[in-house]
């Protein structure tokens, strides 16, 4: 990867999930030496700090099926403008979370500058619920459905009626889905490489196929990486751990292959929860994975 301008944007969003602690995720990843790692690769890095986010103790969820809707929409509007500004200035937006509801803002900002966007979504879960299918009301389970134009109009507002084509969404590492969201995913015709496909074909072939899908006919590719796609054996600091995930090396290989392809336009790293972690082990892994996505090599 050629040296890039990288814009680090922290989003300490802790409103999209029931389990507290991911608001400290951006600090944990920064503390792991993210900026220095990227500078050693040769990138110019500017950290613009954190998008302002209210804490849950200062708010009350008004709608049980869309908890903290107004607050999350406001945060994502600000994030969309911040991502848009970074792109205008020639930088690669690197968004640190925080829960995965922030991807609404990341993708909305990207779509303001690129009409045709491909999305690589690394996650144990589908994040394809709407207010009609959600079993929890947690908006961190809704960003992909929102990004393709489904769900509540207020949640879709940051997109300004420009959405991702569902056939340009590819999942990697999925291993648990809610029944309602699984049906929506089938109807939308997104591509899903579950852990079964990763085991069956190997990460190299899965990523090659994924890149063919998200890269063909698109102007930009967004990589959104939920740390829970990695097995909790390697990433214990996640609020929604699920066994049977990617190994540490599989995760690195996936991001190294994406880096080699040279197609990534923006990236999220989300759901690092230091409260559940072991001496910032997951924060360090997140920083190392970002470095792999941005060109770090073993030799």
The pLDDT value recorded for residue 258 is 98
Q: How far lies 59's CA from each of 16, 41, 56, in Å?
A: 13, 41, 5
pLDDT band with cut points at 50, 70 and 90 for residue 102: very high
For residues 13-20, give the mean pLDDT: 93
Structure-token pair, residue 233: 């054996």
Q: Is the pLDDT confidence value at 111 over 80?
A: yes
Counting residues of the chain whose pLDDT is more than 90, the rounded percentage is: 95
Q: Do 233 and 265 meet the contact criterion of CB atoms below 8 Å apart?
A: no
pLDDT at 2 over 90: no
E strand or H helix that includes residue 50: strand 44-50
Please tell me the least confidently modeled range out of 34-48, 52-66, 257-271. 52-66
Q: How large is the average pLDDT for residues 173-178?
A: 98
pLDDT for residue 221 is more than 80: yes
For the chain, what is the mean pLDDT? 97
Residues acting as catalytic residues: 100, 123, 125, 127, 140, 226, 228, 271
Q: Could you tell me if 158 and 255 are in contact, meaning their C-beta atoms sit under 8 angstroms apart?
A: no
Looking at residue 62, its pLDDT comes to 85
Residue 12 clears pLDDT 80, i.e. is over it:
yes
Host H or E run for residue 182: helix 179-188
At 44, give phi and psi (nearest 5°): -90, 120
The answer on pLDDT for 1 being more than 80 is: no
Q: What is the pLDDT of residue 245?
A: 98
Which candidate, 39, 113, 57, places its Cα nearest to that of 266?
Answer: 113
* HSE, side-chain direction, 13 A CA sphere, residue 112: 21
pLDDT in tens, 197-214: 999 999 999 999 999 999
Domain ranges of the chain: 5-293
The CATH classification number of 5-293 equals: 3.40.800.10
């Amino acid at each position: 990867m050629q040296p890039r301008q990288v814009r680090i944007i922290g989003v300490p969003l802790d409103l999209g999930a029931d389990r507290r602690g991911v608001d400290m995720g951006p600090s944990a990843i920064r503390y792991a030496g993210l900026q220095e790692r990227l500078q050693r690769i040769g990138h110019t890095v500017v950290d613009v700090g954190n998008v302002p986010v209210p804490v849950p103790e200062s708010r009350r969820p008004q709608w049980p099926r869309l908890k903290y809707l107004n607050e999350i929409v406001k945060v994502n509007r600000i994030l969309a403008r911040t991502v848009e500004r970074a792109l205008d200035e020639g930088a690669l937006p690197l968004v640190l979370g925080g829960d995965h509801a922030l991807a609404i803002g990341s993708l909305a900002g990207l779509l303001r500058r690129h009409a045709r966007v491909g999305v690589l979504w690394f996650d144990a879960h589908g994040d394809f619920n709407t207010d009609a299918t959600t079993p929890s009301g947690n908006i961190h389970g809704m960003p992909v459905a929102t990004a393709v134009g489904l769900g509540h109009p207020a949640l879709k507002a940051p997109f300004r009626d420009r959405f991702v084509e569902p056939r340009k969404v590819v999942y990697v590492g999925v291993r648990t889905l809610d029944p309602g969201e699984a049906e929506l995913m089938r109807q939308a015709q997104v591509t899903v490489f579950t852990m079964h496909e990763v085991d069956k074909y190997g990460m190299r072939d899965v990523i090659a196929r994924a890149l063919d899908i998200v890269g063909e006919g698109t102007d930009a590719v967004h990589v959104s990486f939920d740390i829970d796609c990695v097995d909790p054996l390697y990433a214990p600091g996640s609020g929604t751990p699920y066994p049977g995930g990617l190994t540490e090396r599989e995760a690195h290989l996936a991001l190294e292959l994406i880096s080699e392809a040279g197609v990534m336009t923006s990236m999220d790293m989300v759901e690092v929860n230091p409260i559940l972690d072991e001496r910032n082990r997951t924060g360090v892994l997140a920083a190392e994975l970002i470095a792999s996505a941005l060109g770090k090599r073993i030799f």
